[in-house]
Chain A
Amino acid sequence: MFALRDKYAIAGIGYTDFSKKSGRTVRSLASEACIKATADAGLKISDIDGIVSFNFNDSASAIAVATEVGVPQANYAVDFLAGGNGANLIILSAIAAIEAGLAKTVLCYRAMNGRSGFRLGGGRDLAAYNITQYTAPFGWITYPQAMAMWCRRHMVEYGTTSDQLGEIAVQFRKNAEHNERAMQRTPITMDDYFNSRMIVDPFHMLDICLETDGACAVLVTTAERAKDMKHKPVHVMGGAYGGGPNQGEDLFDAMRWPDHSHNYAKYIAADLWKSAGIGPKDIDLAQIYDCFTYSIIMQLEGLGFCDPGEGGPFVQGGRIAPDGELPLNTAGGLLSEGYIHGLNHVVEAVQQLRGDAGVRQVPDVETCLTTAGAMTCGSALVLRN
């Protein structure tokens, strides 16, 4: 269990424009976010001695970015092969590295040309090797197709409805209206949701996040050192990474998973809350991984914001709006802000906890949850100001 409550902090954030066509190399996007995060902390690149990222063989390596920006000695330069589960994992890994004495000041980034380059939504290699030989020959190829299977299972078990999924999409779009970073800011209605094209039943187009070109970076160091930097530190109270039994051979493979009506969240909840020393009721707002609408519902249930099966009703009636009981994805989420594989959720959490979120600012925020992952494996952080 994470045992370093409040000892580490996020001291800087940086991000590029989010677009459909960056016209740039992924490395340059990563470098821009890293340079900005370093400056945001009031530091120079010469202060950096660690750099961590995660990718799907679709990004620039940590050493490539360290080289471009001129890190004089990269003592902890590490790339994780990870999907959405990686966004908080890299932050926990940076903390672990600093605690072990491997580095002092670590940049964590995710960079991708997710729309103009390697499209995660576009399917995988059609040669069906290894575990894929049991899935791809049946035309089960893309991530929306993989995750629709989970969503259906939740509908079967608990009666979750498209109305509930649509409510999530509509609310997050509304949040994105006030976010200059967001790729989709035009309001949508429930009619728009239901009229959006059925991609893979039960998913409409508006259940699916936005493929995005862009990068985000955050700077991690000890709370002690962060105290003297430019902004008020955002402390890491608690964190967890993992999942249940039978996570399978890759993110797609969940055929041996206990039941697709719940995901990783259920398995990390106890450690997450124990490590933070607070519980779901103490969370002021949350940035929950929303590669698809349904994943919000499963994580709310798994992390104990409501009982299993209650996630659908939970998101209805304004509870997740900025002025609701639990404001969610205040920047618009992966569904409407953009998909920087979940690291943009951490950027928004930091802005909210600093009180720097402008018109999006939720008043009196002290704690924020961030999560990353939707299937068998994921990560989460409890942050405070």
Chain B
Amino acid sequence: MSEATMTYEKPLPVLDPESTPFWEACREHKLKIVRCLDCGQVRFPPTSFCPHCNSAKLEWIEASGKATLFSWIVVRHPVPKDVYALDVPYVVALVTLEEGVRMPTNIVGCAPEDVTAYMPLKVLFRDVTPEITLPVFAPDRG
């Protein structure tokens, strides 16, 4: 375990066979989602079977990284307290990617009170440990 991992106390994703390509792409600063090879529908989170046609044939495509804000919260009371005390207030959001799927994330580069519904966003990547990079979103000012 690296030193950075030991000092990072927030939850980290535990990779599984379905999610590994997603998190590996994030580490390379690429946002990838699954597309069904039979019906062409995209989906997130990644699953083995397409909910539209049940095909197991899939490919990983790179998303444009553009999104709009679907909903958001501003966390002001940290839970667990010791882990998030220095982060509050922070914004958690559900964003709708240009490709049509929704994804949880953080909004950065914007004061919580300036966050508005449907605002255009673009992905940024935060390397939180040597192994894990989180995709976060910031206002897309063009």
B138 within 8 Å of A by Cβ?
A: no
Query: Separation in Å of the A281 CB from the closest CB of chain B?
Result: 32
Bound complex: CA A149 to CA B112 (Å): 14
A197 within 8 Å of B by Cβ?
A: yes
Contact (Cβ within 8 A) B75 A145: yes
B104 within 8 Å of A by Cβ?
A: yes
B76 within 8 Å of A by Cβ?
A: yes
Chain B 93-112: CB-based contact to A (< 8 A → 1; otherwise 0): 01000000011111000001
**A133-141, A306-314, A351-359, A376-384: which one contacts chain B?**
A133-141
Contact (Cβ within 8 A) A138 B14: no
B contact residues around A1 at 8 Å (CB): none
Contact (Cβ within 8 A) B12 A149: no
B45 within 8 Å of A by Cβ?
A: yes
B4 within 8 Å of A by Cβ?
A: no
A contact residues around B128 at 8 Å (CB): 137
**A24-32, A65-73, A124-132: which one contacts chain B?**
A124-132
**A81-89, A199-207, A271-279: which one contacts chain B?**
A199-207
CB within 8 Å for A255 and B77 given contacts A127-B11, A133-B14: no
**Range of interface residues on chain B?**
35 or more
Contact (Cβ within 8 A) B106 A138: yes
Contact (Cβ within 8 A) A149 B71: yes
Contact (Cβ within 8 A) B45 A255: yes
A contact residues around B90 at 8 Å (CB): 139
Contact (Cβ within 8 A) B74 A131: no
B117 within 8 Å of A by Cβ?
A: yes
Chain B residues proximal to chain A, CB less than 8 Å: 10-16, 19, 23, 44-45, 51, 70-77, 79-80, 83-84, 87, 89-90, 92, 94, 102-106, 112, 117, 128, 132, 134, 136
9 A-B pairs (CB sep. < 8 Å) = A128-B14, A134-B19, A137-B132, A139-B90, A156-B117, A197-B77, A198-B77, A200-B77, A201-B74
State the 6 A-B residue pairs at the shortest beta-carbon distance, nearest first: A133-B13, A201-B74, A136-B11, A153-B71, A148-B73, A156-B117
Besides A130-B16, A201-B76, A255-B44, 9 new A-B residue pairs in contact (Cβ under 8 A), listed by A number: A137-B13, A137-B132, A141-B79, A145-B92, A150-B71, A152-B72, A199-B77, A200-B74, A202-B73
